[in-house]
Amino acid sequence: MQLPHEYIMCGLQHPTTLKCSLNAVQAFHNEWWRAMSLYTPLNAIMVVIFRGSALFKDPLQTLSRLAVSILRSSLFLTCYVTTAWTLPCYLRRFSGTDRQWHYYINGILAGMMVLIEVPGRRLELALYCMPRALESFWNCGVKWKWWKNIPGGEAIYFCFATGVLMTFYQNDPAIIHDGYRKVMVRFLGIN
C-alpha cells in the first residue's frame, strides 16, 4: 500500500514505510544478505581454484581468511548500496532550492565505501566501474547533443580495451593482477 510522503523520492524508495531511518535499516539488512549470497560462493570458488593447496596445508588459516574476505566484501557492498539509495532521503531535507549538490555528496560518500575493501581490491573495483562510468559519460553526451551516437560503439571500445589488455599481457604481464594473469595463462598460454 502506498503511504503519503512529503517528498516524491521517499515515496519511490520506500512506499510502504513513512520513516527514512526505518527504510535505511531495512535496506541495510536486505542488502547484507544479497551481498553475502554473492560473495560467499564467489570467494569460495576463488579459494578452491587459486589456493586449493593452501586449503589442504593450513585449512584453519585459509578458512579464516576466506571468512574475513567474505565479511569485508559484503560490508563494502552493503554500505555502498545502502548509502547510495538511502542517503538522498536525508540529504533532500537540506537541499533547499539548490538540489544539485546533494547528488555530489551522495556520490562521494557512497564512493568512499571502497575504503572498507583491502587496497589491492580497490583497483579491481575501479577497473570494474570505469567502463560503466565511460558508458554513462558517452550516453550523457549523446543525450545533451555533444556528439552523435555511433551504432555498435560498444564493440569499438571493447576491442580497444581488449587490445590494451593483450598489449600488457604480451609486453609486461607483471602489470596484470595475479588472479587475472593466471586465468589468462590458462586460456591463452604463456607468451
The answer to whether 91 and 24 are in contact (CB under 8 A) is no
pLDDT of 3 > 90? The answer is no
C-alpha cell at 137: 559519460
Residue 93: pLDDT band (50, 70, 90) is low
Same domain, 64 and 149: no
Q: Which domain holds residue 147?
A: 137-191
Same domain, 141 and 114: no
Whole-model pTM above 0.75?
A: no
In this predicted model, what pLDDT tens digit does every residue of 23-53 receive, in sequence order?
Answer: 888 889 999 999 999 999 999 998 888 888 8
The residue behind cell 548500496 is 81
Same domain, 145 and 98: no
The residue behind cell 573495483 is 125
Count structural domains, the chain: 2
Same domain, 158 and 110: no
CA distances from 165 to 135, 149, 153 (A): 19, 25, 19
In this predicted model, what pLDDT tens digit does every residue of 95-129 receive, in sequence order?
Answer: 554 566 777 888 888 889 999 998 878 878 887 88
